[in-house]
Amino acid sequence: MRKGSSDLEFRGTKASVNIDLDGSGKVSLSSGSAFLDHMLAAFSGTSRVDLEAKAEGSSYQIVVVIGRAIGLAISDALGDHSGIRRYGAAVVPMDESLAEVALDFSGRPYLVFCGEFGGSRIGDLETQDIKAFMESLADGARLTLHTRFYGENDHHKAESIFKALGFAVRDALRKEGTGVPSTKGVI
């Protein structure tokens, strides 16, 4: 079973995450942001990762702390990365919006985030926090993450990003063999 967990605290903001990489997309979410919970449910549904995430604290710090905690839980569940495909990519349209995500569980965290939101908020979430979440996730999971998106409706752009992320994670975490997927033998 590929299960992981993470408890993280930073500047008074706490997050607790449990993850099952071989789940069915079940969620139990309480981030303090209804929109972030909606996006995490979209990610979980497309990745088929079971995700329990709870956070409390300041709204900006929650996004960063919960992103890193989810990444750390994924890393915990992966162990030495044996048997995974390692690379994943997905393109997801949502009405007029489109997101492309490509990633590599390389052990080298890096984020490329190309696209813009038209407004400063989507519901109760600052649009700039979406990039901060992705950066924290990449850092915690030690993955290289490329995200490109466009569209007109900010909600549609964000949802297509999180769904594409889910499909790409599902692709990358697919079991293929038994060894560590690296020419160096270690990630």
DSSP string, 73-96: HHHHHHTT-TTB--EEEEEEEETT
In this prediction, residue 170 has a pLDDT band, given cuts at 50, 70 and 90, of: very high
pLDDT tens digits for 30-88? 999 999 999 999 999 999 999 999 999 877 799 999 999 999 999 999 999 999 999 99
Query: What is the Cα–Cα distance from 60 to 43, expressed in whole angstroms?
Result: 20
pLDDT of residue 58: 78
The HSE-up count of residue 120 (CA atoms within 13 Å, CB side) is 0
* C-alpha span between 143 and 136 (Å, rounded): 10
pLDDT digits (tens, 9 = 90+) for 105-163: 999 999 999 999 999 999 999 999 999 999 999 999 999 999 999 999 999 999 999 99
Catalogue all structural domains in the chain, each as residue range(s) with its CATH number: 3-172 (3.30.230.40)
pLDDT at site 184: 73
Please tell me the predicted confidence (pLDDT) of residue 187: 78
* Residues recorded for the chain: 187
What pLDDT was estimated at residue 180?
Answer: 76
In this predicted structure, the answer to whether residue 181 has a pLDDT above a threshold of 80 is: no
| pTM for this entry | 0.95
Q: Which amino acid is it at 176?
A: E
pLDDT value for 182: 74
C-alpha span between 156 and 115 (Å, rounded) = 13
Looking at residue 178, what is its pLDDT? 80
Instruction: Give the CA-trace dihedral at 123, 125, 127, 128, to 10 degrees.
Output: 170
Q: Does the pLDDT of residue 1 top 90, yes or no?
A: no
Structure tokens at 101: 């995500």
